[in-house]
Chains A and B, each alone.
Chain A
Amino acid sequence: NAGVMQNPRHLVRRRGQEARLRCSPMKGHSHVYWYRQLPEEGLKFMVYLQKENIIDESGMPKERFSAEFPKEGPSILRIQQVVRGDSAAYFCASSLSGDTQYFGPGTRLTVL
């Protein structure tokens, strides 16, 4: 049973470009969470999704950021018009029914 998969593992973008981060949860998991870890800082919650629904997006910046978890396919975290301050590690986690979360390896985004 494969764990949580994230791709790409490393992503480099220039200021103003779009970044798309993908997360495939563990098989059978319908709860997905996105977290951000800025350099030298702790993890911060961004958004919690269940299939086709956003449950809690209180940690997500109001502009430029969006997330989805469609009926088919991976969850996508999309950052439009990236800025240098978006450089961070983005972790996705999944759970079966809201209990223990299993984390992916993360995507390290660098904005030049």
Chain B
Amino acid sequence: KNEVEQSPQNLTAQEGEFITINCSYSVGISALHWLQQHPGGGIVSLFMLSSGKKKHGRLIATINIQEKHSSLHITASHPRDSAVYICAVTWRRRSQGNLIFGKGTKLSVKP
């Protein structure tokens, strides 16, 4: 069993839909990261959070430490949101640079 599990693996949505991607983890963490990997391969860090909720534009990330669960929401989705979204955690027992990654959720938004 992976230490970081994401669901769904693949997601197809129509433009304008509200999207939720889930991440569950099994270890004690000091931080959780959401990353976006573009079709060309580049990676962008979207959020780093250790509690509560963060919002940036149409993206919202939440984390529930007790339940070891995080969600990434995209409101009013757009085709340009099509990418792989990756959840990663910093395990409390490891150095802060040692991220453990989920396998990613491939999102495709159709016009």
Q: Which residues of A contact B (CB under 8 A)?
A: 31, 33, 35, 41-45, 48, 55-56, 58-59, 89, 91, 93, 95, 98-103, 105-106, 108
Within 8 Å CB of A105, what residues of B? Answer: 41-42
Given A91-B43, A106-B41 in contact, is the A55-B97 Cβ separation under 8 Å?
yes
Q: From residue 7 to 29 of chain B, which have CB atoms closer than 8 A to chain A?
A: none
Return 29 A-B CB contacts under 8 Å, by A number: A33-B97, A33-B99, A35-B99, A41-B103, A42-B102, A42-B103, A42-B104, A43-B86, A45-B101, A48-B96, A48-B98, A55-B95, A56-B97, A89-B41, A91-B43, A93-B43, A93-B45, A100-B45, A100-B48, A101-B33, A101-B45, A101-B97, A101-B99, A103-B43, A103-B44, A105-B41, A105-B42, A106-B42, A108-B41
Is there a chain A Cβ closer than 8 Å to B94's Cβ?
yes
Q: Identify which of B48, B86, B95, B100 gathers the most chain A CB atoms within 10 Å of its CB.
A: B95
* A83 vs chain B, min Cβ distance (A): 22
Given A89-B41, A91-B43, A106-B41 in contact, is the A45-B99 Cβ separation under 8 Å?
yes
Residues of A contacting B: mostly = strand
Asked if A43 contacts B88 (CB within 8 A), the reply is yes
Smallest Cβ-Cβ distance to A108: which chain B residue: B41
* A101 vs chain B, min Cβ distance (A): 6
Q: Identify which of B35, B41, B103, B104 gathers the most chain A CB atoms within 10 Å of its CB.
A: B41
Q: Identify which of B95, B97, B98, B100 gathers the most chain A CB atoms within 10 Å of its CB.
A: B97
* A48 vs chain B, min Cβ distance (A): 3
Within 8 Å CB of A31, what residues of B? Answer: 97
* A33 vs chain B, min Cβ distance (A): 5
Q: Identify which of B33, B35, B43, B95 gathers the most chain A CB atoms within 10 Å of its CB.
A: B43
Within 8 Å CB of A35, what residues of B? Answer: 99
A44–B45 Cα distance when bound, in Å, is 16
Smallest Cβ-Cβ distance to B4: which chain A residue: A42
Smallest Cβ-Cβ distance to B102: which chain A residue: A42
